[in-house]
A = this chain, B = another copy of it.
């Protein structure tokens, strides 16, 4: 793991380190367009308790008899706007952010996020399998937290490892609700007296899914509210680089020790399933050039409804139409579009086989 500076477009990043200080100031000192992903678990409580500062860095005296809800929302919104702005500047154009919160703050953070120009991809519900019950029976058990996954702007193309997430979910598309247990047991960090080291330590399973789904090996993941370093620990395990920012020295120390004791998984295990989109493009004409199909040969729609004839240039000629395998398939079906690779078949020894088999054969040779 790189611990020194890392060159990124001519600028260097402090990789795999925990930076000390106010996250807004620290982020403002980092180069713009340099980070792949941000994971943020900002303070939830609106009663501030001296942990928040106004934009001018003056401290908010929240423990005050004249405490006022409206003022408090405004201060929290200002704070959210500021750190979201700083975060957005350092994100790469195709970068993304995850923010987690509860009903106390998530609506405000979400609105600030949209106002700042971020583009929401999904909101994701972490459904806790073992939440704390509501002891007084005055409300519903607060059994979930909300995460927002957003890109830097509307045009961003974020990393999304669709097939890997699908694999994590037994082969069906990952949904926007994730059932995972809260952090306790051995994973929960304690101090010498046995008190929990941090009040809101997130489970590694949650970060595992976030990082597998929206980063690749070697990416840079920044966490502006690092706490006890769950983001850093999971990033290290998964072969991602992290940058942590944390104001409290006690948390930094716990996080540093934790990450030092964390081991990276071996490279082979970090390979994940990929989608067909990543496979090299094979033009249909190549099947003809290579003699896998011959000009004049007949293709059969796999649904049995149509046939077409192969021409020397890799186009097809069907009933009153000609063009690519896709165009002819679409025309014959009267459909807006058609994937010719999965639509057409060829005859071999009396059986009809999809032409996609031939493409896979070529791809296998290319990969070899």
Contacts and interface: CB of A to CB of B under 8 A. Distances in A.
Interface of A: 53, 57, 69-70, 73, 102-104, 106-111, 113-115, 117, 120-125, 127, 129-131, 133-134, 137-144, 146, 148-149, 154, 160-165, 167-171, 173-177, 179-181, 187, 203-205, 208-209, 212, 237-238, 265-266, 268-273, 275, 280-281, 283-286, 288-291, 294-296, 309-315, 317, 324, 333, 335-338, 362, 365-366, 368
A310 to B, nearest CB: 7
A295 B122 contact: no
Given A125-B125, A174-B141, A336-B57, A130 B205 contact: no
B175 A143 contact: yes
A294 B265 contact: yes
Given A122-B139, A129-B362, A268-B311, 19 more contacts: A53-B337, A57-B336, A107-B114, A110-B111, A125-B125, A125-B127, A134-B173, A138-B162, A141-B175, A142-B176, A144-B175, A167-B315, A170-B324, A180-B286, A180-B289, A203-B290, A205-B286, A208-B289, A268-B296
B284 A269 contact: no
Contacts of A109: 107
Contact of A165 (B140, B179, B362): B140
Contacts of A164: 312-313
| 3 interchain residue pairs of minimum CB distance | A107-B110, A168-B285, A269-B295
A255 to B, nearest CB: 18
